[in-house]
Amino acid sequence: MQERSLQELRELMRSGLYSARTLTQMYLARIAALDKQGPTLNAVIEVNPDARTIADALDAERQATGPRGPLHGIPVLIKDNIDTADKMLTTAGSLALAGNIAAQDSFVAQRLRAAGAIILGKTNLSEWANFRSSRSSSGWSSRGGRTRNPYALERNPCGSSSGSGVAVAANLCAVAIGTETDGSIVCPATVNGIVGIKPTVGLVGRSGIIPISHTQDTAGPMTRTVADGAAVLGALVGLDPRDALTTESEGKFYTDYTQFLDKDGLRGARIGIARNFFGFHERVDALMADVIAVLKRCGAEVIDNTNLATTKHVREPEWQTLQYEFKAGLNAYLASVGPDVAVHSLADVIAFNEQHRAQVMPYFGQETLIASQAKGPLNEESYVKFTAEKLRLTRTEGIDAVMQEHRLDAIMAPTGSPTWVTDLLIGDRFLGGCSTVPAVAGYPHITVPAGEVYGLPVGVSFFAGAWQEPTLIRIAYAFEQATQARKPPKFLPTAAL
């Protein structure tokens, strides 16, 4: 079962050697052995008590009418900020949302169930998707505790989709779903040695996802291979009647992204190297030099120094708009939760946290929540100004401008640094990365394992303009097939320095 691709699992079920029930049992056993015991990864916050029953029904359906598609009978873990109308909670890792049983599936959960996937459980995350404190430690939540990196247990899994990244890396599931506002898919993907696909905002419906930003939020696949990510992405797309932004994806999405998998996909591709995202660690730079050599060897035309000059100006308008959007979005979400939930507004959350400070804030506070509460409505002049500024800097004067000037198919950069030692008191230590510009632009971004530094995974990123998932999948798949850089984790107590 370990390291099996979706194609291999499908073949095992088709042949009758495995069943959906068998796979479900095996993954649940591995979660019990590795996540709750053994190295205590703590990636899974809750398992679905109905998973076996769902698997039995899907096995019966396979026998009667055949599989629905590539995800039929496949166990999937999803992040605990994605609503599921079942016996599991949706809490964003927060004790304030204890008792939150969703009345309706999120669009993502609907699409997974329609595809025949088994929602195996919910994954731990950085509480409130890492939008609580400037000193937060990724992978820690007051409900779920601390998630550990399977490559070196003392080290951080990044976030906020921490549990999803760890679960895929450690083979606790076939595939997982994460969400990203800025880096929350690609960062845990790179430090856990897996593939992360952050789609164009609007490609995947966001209804039923506890929000941060309606201009930047998206869900996306976290998988061990590009092929698996492409298969999952095809199941997630579509028009969401509760998310108006998905209307922009009409005529631009594909229900089968595996058609773009091409081992020769780098030949003739024009790839720009964004050097302004390099330079934060010499060993990462050396690894990226090897990546560039592979790109050239596989027939890509590499255009160096295609830098995104506006990057240094993006942080402030992004930060300001996120606070406005978090307050508006969270208040709308909490207004619809059931009466058994203690909080129904951001102000309620802040008050709850203060009342339960010992359990909720033993290591870091909630200054980000407080700053967001102080913001006004979305029609304030400053919000409108900052939104226009961040889109100008990242789109028209950012990614769009660079790609048009150099006639690029994609931009390449290191996804981030090797992961740091977890420090609950001081917080995260990011050395560098490239997530912000494509995240703020709302453009697609794929990270693929590129190698290791002292046994710690490092990924390479490819990003491009809106709706360019097919091109990025083709490029990322060709690179992956040429390098086969992913190595499974060994659950070492510390990095091999």
Q: Which of 19, 79, 136, 207 is catalytic?
A: 79
Angstrom distance (rounded) from CA 422 to CA 375: 32
**Cα pseudo-dihedral 351, 355, 360, 365, rounded to 10:** 60
In-domain check, residue 462: yes
pLDDT for the residue 389: 98
With b for 16 or more beta-carbon neighbours within 10 A and e for fewer, the 229-266 pattern comes to bbbbbbbbbbebeebebbebbeeebbeebbebbeeebb
pLDDT digits (tens, 9 = 90+) for 82-92: 999 999 999 99
Q: How far is CA 445 from CA 113, 244, 465, in A?
A: 25, 22, 9
Beta strands in 35-117 (DSSP E): 44-47, 75-79
Residue 141 lies in a domain: yes
Does 160 map to a domain? yes
Whether 1 shows a pLDDT value over 80: the answer reads no
Q: 211 with 130: CB under 8 angstroms?
A: no
d(CA 492, CA 368): 34
Report the C-alpha gap between 133 and 364 in whole angstroms.
7
Using alpha carbons, list the distances in angstroms from residue 297 to 284, 291, 479: 20, 10, 10
> Does any domain span residue 81?
yes
Give residue 489's pLDDT: 98
> Average pLDDT for residues 423-440, to the nearest whole number?
97
Number of domains within the chain = 1
Residue 309 has which token pair? 């000059």
Q: Quick check: is 390 catalytic?
A: no
Question: In the Cβ-directed half-sphere of 152, how many Cα atoms lie within 13 Å?
Answer: 20
Has residue 489 been placed in a domain?
no
Residue 73 has pLDDT above 90, yes or no: yes
Q: Report the distance separating Cα 401 and Cα 384, nearest Å.
A: 22
* Helix H or strand E segment including 301: strand 301-303
Active site residue 160: yes
Q: Which amino acid is at 169?
A: A
Contact 48, 121 (CB under 8 A): yes
Range of the domain at 361: 6-483
Q: In angstroms, rounded to a whole number, what is the distance separating the alpha carbons of residues 197 and 218?
A: 10
In angstroms, the CA 173 to CA 74 distance is 9
d(Cα 97, Cα 213) in Å, to the nearest integer? 19
The tens digit of pLDDT for each residue in 180-191 reads 999 999 999 999
Residue 398 lies in a domain: yes
Residue 483 buriedness (CB in 10 A; 0-12 / 13-18 / 19+)? middle
Residue 138 pLDDT > 90, yes or no? yes
Domain presence at residue 223: yes
Instruction: Return the half-sphere exposure (C-beta side, CA atoms, 13 A cut-off) of residue 237.
Output: 25
Interval 108-122 mean pLDDT: 98
By three-state DSSP, how is residue 76 classified? strand
Residue written as token pair 């291999």: 8
Are the C-beta atoms of 127 and 147 separated by less than 8 Å? no
CATH for 263? 3.90.1300.10
Each residue's pLDDT tens digit, 312-359: 999 999 999 999 999 999 999 999 999 999 999 999 999 999 999 999
Q: pLDDT grade, residue 497 (50/70/90)?
A: confident
Q: Which residue among 137, 160, 417, 461 is the active-site one?
A: 160
pLDDT tens string 257-301: 999 999 999 999 999 999 999 999 999 999 999 999 999 999 999
Residue 496 has a pLDDT of 85
- C-alpha–C-alpha distance, residues 100 and 81, integer Å: 11
User: Annotated catalytic, 184?
Assistant: yes
- What would the two tokens of residue 170 be? 């450690």
Count other C-beta atoms under 10 Å from residue 377's C-beta. 9
Core vs surface per residue 429-453: b (16+ CB within 10 A) or e: ebebbbbbbbbbbbbbbbbbbbbbb
Q: Average pLDDT of the chain?
A: 98
64 lies in some domain: yes
Catalytic pick among 19, 136, 137, 184: 184
Task: Tell me the DSSP string of 291-350.
Answer: HHHHHHHTT-EEE-----TTGGGTHHHHHHHHHHHHHHHHHHHHTTS-TTSS-SSHHHHH
Residue 489: CB atoms within 10 Å: 20
- Answer whether 89's CB lies under 8 Å from 125's CB: no
Give the C-alpha separation, 491 to 494, whole Å. 9
Tokens in use for 354? 């203060």
